[in-house]
Chain A
Amino acid sequence: MTDLAPGTMTIGPVGLDVPLRVPDEGQWRGEQVTISGSLGAEQGYSLADSRTLRSQFQGLGSLAQKIIPVRWGLDDVDGFYAVDPPEIKTDGGSFTHGVFDFSVRLTRVRTWQQLVQQERVIGALRSKPTGAVNAHGVSTTNTIAWHSPGVGALGYLVDGETLSDGDTIDTGDGSVTLVWDSAETLFNATAKWQVRPDDFYLGGARILVDEQHDGTFRRVVGDQMSNHPGHWAISNGRLTVQGAADCRIKVGINDGTGWASWKTFQVTYDEALNAFTAEPSIVRVVRNTPERAAVRVVFGTGSALTTLDVALRRGASYAECLLSSSGTVNWGVKLIDPDVSPVPVGWGAIEPGTTHVAGIHATSYDPDGNKVFLASPQVIEPAHPDTCANVGLYLPGTTRQLAWGVGIEAGVDIDTFTDHVWRYFAAQHGHSRPVIA
């Protein structure tokens, strides 16, 4: 459980990074409370933080799920509330001095003890982006259909039963539960659990943006984010994927001991793995829910369209990526050293790689004790079995789309990259909402 600093509160995800001071006024009427006050600089916030807080507040109006945890840090009022779109007053100088008056109406649905989080999960064997069956003979005998309720799940059952296999992994948010079974129950099941308002967002997927370009990432609330195409991140407390300049992403892992093993991947366009250098011009939210978050980055300008979608599930140690383009080339991806510019031509030799069925992984654990890996349902080179000077892969046939998974095996876990690749091959869609217990 996280402790709230005294005098602060959270309304859903608002207040989780930039603190939200408990406003001056709150008026209760039955289960409804209207709170109003002032966000911003007069309470000691920097202008940047004030504007971030305002924008997160505004995002409450576009949340996918309107019943959210609200915490004052007081047992008698903390709980799950339905939030109405907040009112935010701005005057001519608000965006310059960062003072915004606000009011928001919350209706308590129930105490958290009376609500159950219900997630309906449906899935099947991952196919190629065209819908054709994967090129590696991976079948549902290999896949691991899995689910995670995040941190602090109580009474967690899938279709009313405890699944036969489970694990808890340590992350930057705390201890996250994962479950699965060999019967692939989670290809069509309903998971239910209870959770305290304090733990609701821990281990959940989120989208972050660094508006000041100074390394301070703040949560995006709702489905709109400001456009910083080289300064976004998507994270679940365990794995973080960050956007970077050119057509690159940075991936890092947190096994409970801090963020480590940062790897930079460069998108490539030919069989020699030469870099595809196009600047990202747009980043937008595709989905922003704790069970799954996804962003889309658009590269380049003019009459071509190249997009990169990155999606991350709660509890996953891998991200699902899709590169889609109007250009038909040998799309690929390789590890690079971000400090070397321009990107050297050819394969490079950042970390030696060994292929496995459907992908390639670092041959040895890195200095942080972790191992990065890639996988794809499409026909890829190098094919298994093979060894390689660098971790990278490309599509030998020219095509418009490259679907790939990128993840990191934490040396301290029991699960290996093989287990994560089988999880990647279980394409699952989940939709979560609170219901009455």
Chain B
Amino acid sequence: MSSFTEKLMAPGSWQLDFDPATPSDILDLSALAFSRIVITPAHIPATDADPDEIVAQARYVGLLRERTGRTRWGGPGLAALLGDEDGKGNTFAAAADDVDLPKYDGGNPSWILTKVLRDAGGGANGITAGDITSTGTPSKEGNIEVGDTPRDTLEWVCRVFSGDKTNPQEWRINPDGTLDQRNKETLWPTAVTPTAIAVRQGGASTHIADGSGLKLIPVVSFGTEGDWDDWSSATMAVGPEVELFGTPYTFTGRDEIADNPFVDIAGDPLVMERVVETNKSKSNADNEDIAARIQGRHENESRHIDFTVDLFDLAEVGQVGDTIWVFDLLDGLTNRSNLIWLAAEPVFPLAARIVEATSPVRDGHGAYLLWWTGSTFELTDVTDYVRPDDRPMRVGVGDPKRLLGLSRPSRRA
């Protein structure tokens, strides 16, 4: 099963299955761990273009990190270079208190340049700055703890520099290894107006010349899961404990839901408050920001909608992180406030964000391994040996799917 799974602001994973009759010299390449696997939307023979051009066309780039026998290769996406699933990366071996830097200021020291991309500190395994707004102000103070990875620091930076719960700071790593860090609506303009709609196959058609650019995602089947397991009525961010004028003092900040819709068994507002500990803030106001950002994530049903789609590639309609319309009246996937015209049919879809997508590697995609010879990178075309997969692709929208044991929000902020 050759496929790649992309996840919003997480490493994701990929896997390629090779034909058993693949020549040994190709299968030998499976020993070159941390080489890049490059998947392109169309197959370009490696002899027809130079490696940089092929990588520039890449649809997905991942790191080779595991193999089963020699015919199944796999590994994570590039985000693992900033900090993998186990917390390895260019980790901070020493704590740093009272760091006060702007988010990103071009070549000047900043949280992103100095503490995430670790310029002049050992780098971030080759990840470089992409689209990030450059400005000297504001600057924020924070602490770095022993063992923090650049990805941990990036997540803290996004949290602390987000002014608006509805348009937070987010990040994305592109196939070329650059890091984009902007607010959500800039990285993914579809957050404001979705341009694709997922409806059951046979439900509609958008091939008309209406100029709307609305793309149809024909869904084979919808599956929904939802829970309020993480819903909270308020969030309190506590810590760190410092010494103020010789007396111990603990910073605190609290954010409460504006309109609590749930009641307890006596009919009074339900109190389900969450407490998170943080060691990075420098004031009560910082704690309030942290509490607000975390509270904003837990004010609605955590709903995950999985659907299988008959598309060649998700890139035809969008990418992970984009907001799309989803409509299936009988499953309750509808929102009366949105009236969208699918040709002459009025539909009332829900807006939901693509948080993960598993795309099969199709017959037609190109697959290459970009590996280090000792002095240079060499691109080897492995397309002919990869077993393609014609199954429908799976897209997940809404909140990230629950994985047993791994999904409870951390108590450490």
Contact = CB atoms under 8 A, between A and B. Distances in A.
Interface of A: 62, 64, 120, 122-127, 129-131, 187-188, 223, 286-287, 292, 294, 296, 304-307, 309-311, 320-322, 324-326, 400-401, 403, 427-429, 431, 433
Contact of B205 (A286, A292, A304, A326): A286
Contacts, number: 87
Given A307-B343, A427-B339, 7 more contacts: A120-B329, A124-B336, A307-B208, A322-B343, A324-B208, A429-B345, A431-B329
A131 B209 contact: no
B330 A122 contact: no
27 contacts: A62-B202, A120-B330, A122-B334, A122-B336, A123-B336, A124-B337, A131-B339, A131-B340, A131-B341, A187-B336, A188-B336, A286-B343, A294-B345, A296-B208, A306-B209, A307-B209, A309-B208, A309-B344, A322-B208, A322-B344, A324-B208, A324-B210, A324-B343, A401-B210, A401-B211, A429-B345, A431-B330
B336 A324 contact: no
Contacts of A125: 339
A128 B336 CA distance: 17
Q: What is the interface of chain A mostly: helix, strand, loop, or mixed?
A: strand
A305 B208 contact: yes
Nearest to A307: B208
Interface in B186-230: 202-205, 208-212
B346 interface: yes
B354 interface: no
B348 interface: yes
B347 interface: yes
B229 to A, nearest CB: 28
Contact of A321 (B330, B344, B345): B344
B329 A124 contact: no
Contacts of B341: 127, 129, 131, 322, 403
Contacts of A130: 212
Given A122-B348, A324-B210, A325-B209, A296 B343 contact: yes
Nearest to B208: A324
A320 B330 contact: no
B330 A433 contact: yes
A124 B343 contact: no
A310 B341 CA distance: 14
Nearest to B341: A129
A400 B211 contact: yes
Contacts of A401: 210-211
A373 to B, nearest CB: 18
Nearest to A284: B205
Contacts of A62: 202
A309 B341 CA distance: 12
A292 B210 CA distance: 22
Contact of B344 (A124, A305, A311, A431): A311
Nearest to B202: A223
A296 B209 CA distance: 13
Give 7 nearest A-B pairs by CB, closest first: A326-B209, A427-B346, A309-B344, A322-B344, A324-B208, A305-B209, A431-B329
A126 B345 CA distance: 11
A116 B337 CA distance: 29
Nearest to B346: A427
A429 B210 contact: no
A56 B398 CA distance: 41
Most central of B211, B334, B340 by chain A CB within 10 Å: B211
Interface in B323-340: 329-330, 334, 336-337, 339-340
A345 B343 CA distance: 30
Contacts of B343: 286, 294, 296, 307, 309, 322, 324
Q: Which of A188, A296, A429 has the most CB of B within 10 A?
A: A429
B205 A429 contact: no
A305 B209 CA distance: 6
A400 B334 CA distance: 28
A427 B205 CA distance: 18
Contacts of B329: 120, 122, 429, 431
B329, B330, B336, B346, most chain A CB atoms within 10 A: B346
Contacts of B212: 130
Contacts of B205: 286, 296
Contacts of A126: 346
A320 B210 CA distance: 16
Contact of B204 (A123, A129, A286): A286
Contacts of A305: 208-209
Nearest to A292: B345
A123 B346 contact: yes
Given A187-B336, A223-B202, A429 B348 contact: yes
Nearest to B347: A429
Contacts of A294: 343-345
Nearest to A118: B330
Among the interface residues B203, B211, B341, B348, which one has the most CB atoms of the partner chain A within 10 A? B341
Contact of A124 (B204, B210, B346): B346
Contacts of A64: 202
A403 B210 contact: no
A184 B334 CA distance: 18
Interface in B152-176: none
A321 B345 CA distance: 10
Interface string B112-123: 000000000000
B70 to A, nearest CB: 44
Nearest to B327: A429
Contacts of B336: 122-124, 187-188
B194 to A, nearest CB: 12
Contacts of A403: 341, 344
A307 B211 CA distance: 13
Nearest to A430: B329
B257 to A, nearest CB: 25
Nearest to B340: A131
A123 B210 CA distance: 22
B347 A320 contact: no
Q: Which of A129, A188, A292, A305 has the most CB of B within 10 A?
A: A129
A320 to B, nearest CB: 5
